[in-house]
Amino acid sequence: MYPEFRPRRLRTTPAMRRLVAETSLEPRHLVLPMFVADGIDAPREISSMPGVFQHTEDSLRAAATAAVEAGVGGLMLFGVPRPEDKDARGSCATDPDGVLNRALRELRNELGDATVLMADTCLDEFTDHGHCGVLNGSGRVDNDATLERYAEMAVAQAESGAHLLGPSGMMDGQVGSIRAALDAAGFQDVGQLAYAAKYASAFYGPFREAVGSSLEGDRRTYQQDPANRREALREVDLDLAEGADLVMVKPAMSYLDILREVADRADVPVAAYQISGEYSMITAAAQNGWIDRDAAVLESLMSIRRAGADIVLTYWAAEAAGWLS
């Protein structure tokens, strides 16, 4: 007796495996999140994310140019204001001379349309309380007052040259209100990569250091409960109805089931964000000699693609693009 079918035949040589691979990973699939900080005179490594930096405007320009030359699909920019520039409304986010808007302008001048320039459209980096929105009298995040701030922030980012905005605050109606504001200001061509299904995750820990977050407490009144699946699909449907151009699932690796369902359902491009904690876990294990770093990085990215992501935001974007091209 012998097996009727021998799957191993299709695994015999690298060329054979390459021929039959179902999923591919290309530099264009990868988007690099970057941090630009105000008031520093040299790039500062984020201790919980070895290899990732808060950039000065100069080092940002250099790193962004290198990433684009390596072939990444786009850049996602986060601003880190000076602590003394934070306030309850996140004023720095809408100030044309705030750190994020300034950096967007510089990068757009430098890179033009050579890449897709994206901006995080959220207040948490800019508020002194660290929440993603403004607070009401009882200290809760006020959804509709926050929408007004997002609308102003979106217009400021579009004026600064962003091609795509990434509303990441999980307020109800954020995509619709940003769409209306952009259209009213004449930015019909500026789109939204909507963080549609964003979970309240412990794996954001290192990002809080990366942006010098002031948050105490958590974001469970606006980000999703990790227990919920159907709710993610509703969030995606709402964002699509409000005009999202692309939708995102975040985090990636603990939510690959959600990613698969979103990919099956959405008729727009789907992104997934391999977040700070995912980066740090692999980095820490590799630093201990416990896993092969580069192989683990590529396997993680491939698994996110296989689960349905057209686009993967990852802190390894530039490096992995270099390996893949």
| Catalytic site positions | 198, 250
- Assess whether the previous peptide bond of 251 is cis (omega < 30° from 0): yes
Structure tokens at 319: 């490096």
267/261 Cα distance (integer angstroms): 12
Among residues 53, 207, 222, 255, which is the contact residue for ligand PBG, using CB under 6 A?
207
How far is Cα 310 from Cα 116, in angstroms, rounded to an integer? 15
In the chain, count of helices (H) and strands (E)?
A: 11, 10
Only segment of 35-43, 116-124, 178-186, 231-239 that touches ligand PBG (CB under 6 A):
116-124
**Contact call for residues 246 and 196 (beta carbons, < 8 A):** no
On whether the CB atoms of residues 215 and 131 are closer than 8 A, the answer is: yes
Q: Are 118 and 34 in contact (CB under 8 A)?
A: no
Nearest approach in angstroms of CB 120 to ligand PBG is 5
| 154: nearest Cα among 128, 184, 109 | 184
Binding status of residue 276 toward ligand PBG by CB under 6 A: yes
Q: Per rule CB under 6 A, is residue 124 in the interface with ligand PBG?
A: yes
According to DSSP, residue 169 is labeled S
Residue 122 in the binding site for ligand PBG (CB under 6 A): yes
Give, in order, the Cα–Cα distances in Å from 214 to each of 37, 72, 79.
15, 31, 14
Closer CB to ligand PBG, residue 194 or residue 275?
A: 275
94 counts as binding ligand PBG under rule CB under 6 A: no
Binding piece for ligand PBG, criterion CB under 6 A, among 98-106, 119-127, 241-249, 285-293: 119-127
Contact between 142 and ligand PBG by CB under 6 A: the answer reads no
**115/168 with CB nearer ligand PBG:** 168
What are the backbone angles phi and psi of residue 63, rounded to the nearest 5°? -70, -35
Total residues contacting ligand PBG (rule CB under 6 A)? 10
Q: Torsion angle of alpha carbons 313, 318, 323, 325, nearest 10°?
A: 90
Q: Give the residue with the Cβ less far from ligand PBG, 94 or 276.
A: 276
Nearer to ligand PBG, 186 or 199 (CB): 199
Stretch that binds ligand PBG, among 54-62, 107-115, 118-126, 298-306 (CB under 6 A): 118-126
Site string for ligand PBG, 144-173 (x = CB under 6 A): ------------------------x-----
CA distance 236 to 252: 15
CB of 167 to ligand PBG, least distance (A): 9
Binding piece for ligand PBG, criterion CB under 6 A, among 120-128, 175-183, 233-241, 284-292: 120-128
Shortest Cβ 3–ligand PBG spacing (Å): 45
Q: How far apart are CA 306 and CA 29, in angstroms?
A: 12
Q: Does the footprint of ligand PBG cover residue 126 (CB under 6 A)? A: no
Does 275 sit near ligand PBG (CB under 6 A)? yes
Distance of CA 319 to the CA centre of its chain: 17
Tally of residues, the chain:
325
Q: Is 204 in the site for ligand PBG (CB under 6 A)?
A: yes
Binding site for ligand PBG (CB under 6 A): 120, 122, 124, 132, 168, 204, 207, 219, 275-276
